[in-house]
Amino acid sequence: MAVDYQSLAVSGVQALQPYQPGKPIEELARELGLDPDRIIKLASNENPLGPSEQALAAARRALDELCLYPDGNGFALKQKLAERYGLSMSQLTLGNGSNDVLEVIARCFAGPDSEVIYSQYAFAVYPLVTQAIGATGVSVPARDWGHDLDAMAAAVTERTRLIFVANPNNPTGTVHSDAALRAFLDAVPERVLVVLDEAYCEYLNGDGYPDGLRLLDRYPNLIVCRTFSKAWGLAALRVGYSVSSPAIADVLNRVRQPFNVDSIALAAATAVLDDEAYLERSRAVNTAGLAQLAEGFDGLGLPYIPSFGNFIAVDVGDQAGDVYQALLVRGVIVRPVAGYGMPRHLRVSVGLEHENRRFLDALAEVLGG
């Protein structure tokens, strides 16, 4: 009798569906026979500027040592992060992208007898890692497409171990003020860890927005997660990190896999932190791109969710799946978000000016056809 190997997997994993990333350019080119140079991808919240020249130069230098294991402690990158943000190196945990750190946190602090709270329309990795470790996920209904922080605090029980909060949130782009976040943290028992996912924090401009790193001294149960994949333009290298109390970081670093960030990634991430001009260009391109897309949606009469990330979710109607497919035929990749419970929306990453224009023209053609 053949063995049903799927049945041997732990119960949480058996019911999981794999995470669906944005469609790669090469995949679409193969499927439809399109010229890959004529395809634009606005699906995965990547930085449209391309990588920093300083990061590229550091990555090239690191190629000479491909035969050696990377620094398993990531000393140089931790040192640079500590200097930039006024931290102790003992507060840092590095990951193969921030997703890696999110999973490590869940594995360290939750399990089959515990609950993990997250918001409706929040990042898909939160329920994914919760289910994988056998914990009970508690999805709190959203308010105005964003986190209902009061309801999330009220959902805490004796079994609650973790709360995931994304600020700004993916895929809706909503954000909470510093005051709102502090009020929420005040309401959460200190025994419950709050994971503040700030993957898009570098795009926030102006006063009143929270900086999670400034809250760590006041809230010892807070863990802040950040990434180099978005504003810093290093998505392919997968570098993320968390900042927490040294005690929490010590636990995370016991479970973190050795050499989980490779040498090229460490070198590029360390170098890009000195490229302030690149970060400012990323912000400027994003601000202009969000305005361009919003103006285009207004012109088409399409509702959208005002965004504080590097993407925007637009309501294209009941046939969003068909609109997505029609855009693919025209060589434009965006992201359907029906899996997030948003069947009418498409999430569109901010591109360069001509990429945004091509998308808007293609969308107008599809909707007008």
Domain ranges (residues) in the chain:
5-50+277-368, 54-272
Instruction: Count the Cβ atoms, other than its own, within 10 Å of residue 211.
Output: 14
| CA-to-CA separations, 169 to 114, 165, 166, in angstroms, rounded | 24, 8, 5
Residues of the chain with pLDDT under 50: none
Q: What is the mean pLDDT of the chain?
A: 93
Take residue 335 and report the two structure tokens written for it. Answer: 């992201």
Can you name the CATH fold of 54-272?
Aspartate Aminotransferase; domain 2 (3.40.640)
| 3-state secondary structure string across 71-102 | CCCCHHHHHHHHHHHCCCHHHEEEECCHHHHH
Residue in the structure block whose two tokens are 């050696």: 68
Residues for the chain: how many in total?
369
Q: What angle do CA 131, 133, 135 make, to 5 degrees?
A: 65
Would you state the pLDDT for residue 12?
Answer: 66
Would you state the pLDDT for residue 102?
Answer: 96
Q: Nearest-CA neighbor of 351 among 307, 290, 305?
A: 290
Reported as a single tens digit per residue, the pLDDT across 51-61 is 999 999 999 99
Would you state the pLDDT for residue 34?
Answer: 85
Query: Cβ distance 269 to 228 under 8 Å?
Result: yes
3-state secondary structure of 242: strand
Query: Cβ distance 244 to 94 under 8 Å?
Result: no
CA pair distance 311, 314, nearest whole angstrom: 10
Residue in the structure block whose two tokens are 């896999």: 257
Query: Cβ distance 149 to 184 under 8 Å?
Result: yes
Query: Cβ distance 273 to 81 under 8 Å?
Result: yes
3-state secondary structure of 361: helix
Query: Cβ distance 191 to 221 under 8 Å?
Result: yes
Would you state the pLDDT for residue 14?
Answer: 63
Directed axis angle between helix 320-329 and helix 353-368, to 10°?
Answer: 120
Bridge partners, residue 349, by sequence = 311
Which residues, 6 or more positions from 166, have their beta carbon under 8 angstroms from its beta carbon?
A: 119, 122, 123, 147, 197, 199
CATH-assigned architecture of domain 5-50+277-368: Alpha-Beta Complex (3.90)
Would you state the pLDDT for residue 18?
Answer: 67
Would you state the pLDDT for residue 67?
Answer: 94
